[in-house]
Chain A
Amino acid sequence: EIVMTQSPATLSVSSGERATLSCRASQSVSSNLAWYQQKPGQAPRLLIYGASTRATGIPARFSGSGSGTEFTLTISSLQSEDFAVYYCQQYNNWPRAFGQGTKVEIE
């Protein structure tokens, strides 16, 4: 089974600053990686799929990169509504696997 590891666990950032979140797969998942955003009390929302393609309606300040085992989610200029937990998920192999999440909090 593939294990997804996210870092850091918590990221403290000020509004307007750039946030960089990392996700590593224990073996190659090609570009079959998605990023989800989850706010307290809400279901996750798909942000990025195919490692770098934004889902419909996702602002351009969210960008994804990487392939193989190393992936990055970048939020170019944090807005107040972006403070949340972010999960990566591989869909290259069964069973699907999520990372443990990165919490982006206000510094």
Chain B
Amino acid sequence: QITLKESGPTLVKPTQTLTLTCSFSGFSLSTNGVGVGWIRQPPGKALEWLALIYWDDSKHYSPSLKSRLTVTKDTSKNQVVLTMTDMDPVDTATYYCAHSGLYSQYVVDYWGQGTLVTVSS
């Protein structure tokens, strides 16, 4: 059974760096075709795709946020970490991590429950 869970601070100050951890079970990020992505959703708004890292350590980022995002994996710990620098109140959102690879390496299939991050001084 594939499960994912996000963890990290619920409140960050403007200009700070956000670090979120996605801890997962039920799959290995060393398996061919598997990836873990990050998606966020501001309150009451639509989903926004942020980044994705694959089993081979290839990475893809949203162009509009690329300069601020870094995604890394720790296969031995079954974790993926997202860092976002220079946080702003507009970055307030629920941040989700999600698995891809059950049907296709390109399809996001299982999602974590999400974690709400508020950016405020």
Chain A residues within 8 Å of B, Cβ to Cβ:
1, 32, 34, 36, 38, 43-46, 49-50, 53, 55, 87, 89, 91, 94-101
Q: How many A-B residue pairs have CB under 8 A?
A: 58
Inside 8 A of B46's CB, which chain A residues have their CB?
Answer: 87, 98-101
CA distance A12 to B101 in the complex (A): 35
Q: A43-B96, A49-B104, A95-B49 are in contact. Are A55 and B113 (CB under 8 A)?
A: no
When the two chains form their complex, are residues B49 and A96 in contact, meaning their CB atoms are under 8 A apart? yes
Contact, CB under 8 Å: B108 / A95: no
Determine the chain B residues whose CB is within 8 A of the CB of A87 once the complex forms.
46-47
Indicate if the CB atoms of B107 and A91 lie closer than 8 Å: yes
Question: For B39, what are the chain A residues with a Cβ–Cβ distance below 8 Å?
Answer: 98
Among A32, A49, A99, A101, the most chain B Cβ lie within 10 Å of the Cβ of A49
CB–CB B63/A43 < 8 A: no
Digit string of B89-116 for contact with A (CB within 8 Å is 1, else 0)?
0000000100000011011111111100
Are B106 and A91 in contact (CB-based, < 8 A)?
A: yes
Looking at the assembled complex, report how far the CB atom of A10 sits from the nearest CB atom of chain B, in whole angstroms. 13
Minimal Cβ-Cβ distance residue in A for B65? A95
Assembly CA distance A91 to B103 (angstroms): 13
From A45, A55, A94, A97, B111 is in contact (CB under 8 Å) with A45
Contacts of A94 in B (CB 8 A): 60
CB < 8 Å: which of B37, B63, B106 contacts A1? B63
A88 to B108, CA, bound (A): 12
Q: Smallest distance from the beta carbon of A28 to chain B beta carbons, Å?
A: 16
Query: Which chain A residue lies CB-closest to B63?
Result: A95
| Chain B contacts for A96, CB-based, 8 A | 37, 49, 52, 60
Report how far A32 CA is from B104 CA in the complex, Å.
Answer: 10
Cα distance, A77 to B90, chains bound together (Å): 39
Q: Which residues of B contact A45 (CB under 8 A)?
A: 111
